[in-house]
Amino acid sequence: LRRVIVILNPMAGGKKARKVYDDIVERMLAQAGLTVSVVETEHAGHGIEVGRKIDVGLYDAVVAMGGDGVISEVCNGLLLKSNGRTDNGQVLPIGIIPVGSGNGLAASILKSAGEPVEPVSATLSLLRARTERLDMGVVSQHGQVTGYSILSLATGLVADIDIGADAYRWLGT
């Protein structure tokens, strides 16, 4: 890896994501000699817009920094744009640095590698260029792809419970 773009959700982790980037992640990436571009998301859904606009030929990897929401948005933007492939057909790796209140995907990946779920371990995994292929679900209506499911896909009661649970995040995990 030489060139990465970090899409950072500044609201993640109780608005601590930018501080974690500045204090930890930025230094680690700089010490590794990477050229880094940073884009902060500005509103819900902005990660999709950013993902769609990324010139995949300019980067060796995309890094989503936040929780499950930003990784889902970035993946959807990239896949809806170019099926996540560079101009020469290679799949662009997507890294995750967990700083959100929900880090389910990062936890699944890091724990399966025997790593703790925290920004330093995730950044080290990124620097080691450790990759793992993941299955994704395709969401379509009337034959038109409308999105992708990265971690889970739920409808009905399960989806309602998940959405309703957000109001109780202040209680902790």
Catalytic residues: 68
Distance of CA 50 to the CA centre of its chain: 12
Distant-in-sequence contacts of 130-133, Cβ < 8 A, 24+ apart: 131/93
Q: CA-CA distance, 92 to 34, in Å (whole number)?
A: 16
Taking residue 96's Cβ as centre, other Cβ atoms within 10 Å add up to 27
150, 72 contact by CB (below 8 A):
yes
Report in angstroms the alpha-carbon separations of 124 from 32, 72, 96, 97, 132: 10, 22, 11, 10, 15
